[in-house]
Amino acid sequence: MSSSSKPLLVKDEVASPSGSFKRKHRNLSERSVTFGTYNLDIDSSPFDQSIRVRQVRSEDHTGVVELSEATYGDHDSLPLAFHTIMQQERGFLFVALEKRRVVGCVLVNIVDSDQTLAMSGMRIHPLYKRRNISIHLLRGVHNFVYKAYPSVWRERFTACMDSAYAARLRAQHGYRKVTSLKAISVYVSQDVRKLLGLFLASMASDMKETKGIEQLQPEEALRFADQNDSLLFPSNTLVINCVPFVVSSANMQWIFQENDCVLNSTLTDNHPFSSHQAQGEGNLLALKRRLGSEPRLCSFSHGRAVPRVKCTNWEVMLCGNDRDSMRAHLVGQLQHALKITNGLFVLTCFVDESHIDVVHEFLHHYLGLRYVADYYLNELALYERELQWDA
């Protein structure tokens, strides 16, 4: 879709007490867009008319691959995911073009029952820095979303913590940081796969009875999804493959995909605590005090294979409060990754900063897996703003 000369029709949304919205069409060319208390007057800043923005087409594949190589080299997953993205429901890739050259792109997902615009993986060609390509992409995405998904009221995006683009958006356009995750990455080479598998199997056998880690089934997930437990999930949000979404029954399709590994442990008021679990685990004890007879999640992990140009990444999001159960999750995720992958792969675990030492100690020091110094996978932050439209 082009973001060129046509006036952009959007809809004002005013929340009523019942939660519904009143909408009326406005002509954006005569107005400015307000995000929270920040104002971005789209038509007042210099705008490069040679840049067009639209949804990706199959003929853009070569250009997207060239853009990927210029920005992330062999770290990127986009070239291998290109055709999958084009077929994804409520998932889109927008490209910025100068003539026929792809100079930027951004991934877009509509989540949370069509209430949230989630953006990730913005790439700008190094030769086109300082050309406002990101603003072109944002304008094109907003153009599409407010026509196709008028119920959207919130915008979120994920980025590396050190991203200059993220810092500029926060400063200029009123995004606030929702949460951030630290990441540890380790290599699992062909040489260690067999020995590691045997070692993990021995550990899993010892842990099975004591830690209670098991596969989470979709029907059980539906029961747990609406418990809204902020003690377990940061800001009640999961970030899977850089896509953020609220933990709710409406988003189960984002959690259960082919070959995913979803593990959990549950807790009831009759669940025995060992002394080392109770000591210093304030959040876990607070959770226990709130429990009734219904079991509740007390730890959770999600793993997914993300093929990249260099090798496959097994990306894990780990949520928990007990060190031993977190180690048990890592054992289960590694076992599943060994079944799904072939040859060399990289395990990347995203976790709250307060638990990064647990993951690092277990993967690097205890298992002896080689650390990957990857700038792009060290840290992930989630930002958001509400979308409001001024008369």
Closest of 255, 271, 277, 252 to residue 328, by C-alpha: 277
Residue with tokens 């060190």: 323
Q: Is residue 29 scored above 50 in pLDDT?
A: no
Ramachandran angles phi, psi of 345, nearest 5°: -145, 165
How many angstroms from the chain centroid is the CA of residue 190? 29
pTM of this structure: 0.80
pLDDT of 184 above 50: yes
What's the rounded mean pLDDT across residues 62-90? Answer: 93
When pLDDT is cut at 50, 70 and 90, the band that residue 45 belongs to is: very low
Q: Give the architecture-level CATH label for domain 51-152.
A: 3-Layer(aba) Sandwich (3.40)
**In the beta sheet, which residues pair with residue 30?**
none
Query: What mean pLDDT comes out for the span 165-193?
Result: 87
pLDDT class for 221, splitting at 50, 70, 90?
Answer: confident
Determine the pLDDT at residue 10.
31
Q: Where are the beta strands (DSSP E) in 125-207?
A: 154-159, 176-188
Type of residue numbered 352: D
Rg of the chain over CA atoms, in angstroms?
A: 22
Tell me where in the chain the CATH 3.40.630.30 domain(s) lie. Answer: 51-152, 180-267+294-382
Confidence check: pLDDT of 169 > 80: no
Sorting pLDDT into bands at 50, 70 and 90, what band is 30? Answer: very low
pLDDT in tens, 9-24: 333 332 322 333 333 3
Q: Tell me: the pLDDT tens digits for 358-376?
A: 999 999 999 999 999 876 6
Q: How confident is the model at residue 253 (pLDDT cuts 50, 70, 90)?
A: confident
Report, as an integer, the average pLDDT of 182-208.
91
Tokens encoding 270: 């009759």
Q: Which residues pair with 26 in a beta bridge?
A: 10
Number of other residues whose CB lies within 10 A of the CB of residue 6: 9
Residue 195 falls in which region: left (phi positive, over 0), alpha (psi -120 to 50) or beta: alpha
Task: Give the distance from CA 227 to its chain's centroid.
Answer: 21
Task: Categorize the per-residue pLDDT at 130 as very low, low, confident or very high, splitting at 50, 70 and 90.
Answer: confident
Between residues 211 and 141, the one the model is more confident about: 141
CA–CA separation, 12 vs 33, rounded Å? 11
Answer for the pair 141, 117: CB distance below 8 angstroms, yes or no.
yes
Average pLDDT, the chain: 80
Query: What pLDDT score was predicted for residue 137?
Result: 95
Rounded mean pLDDT of 149-172? 82
pLDDT above 90 covers a percentage of the chain that reads: 53
Digit-coded pLDDT (tens) for 289-345: 454 556 778 899 999 999 999 899 999 999 998 899 999 999 999 999 999 999 999
Question: How many angstroms separate the first and last alpha carbons of the chain?
Answer: 25
CATH 3.30.300.30 matches 180-267+294-382: no
Q: Which amino acid is at 9?
A: L
The string of pLDDT tens digits covering residues 264-296 is 988 754 444 333 333 344 454 454 445 455 677
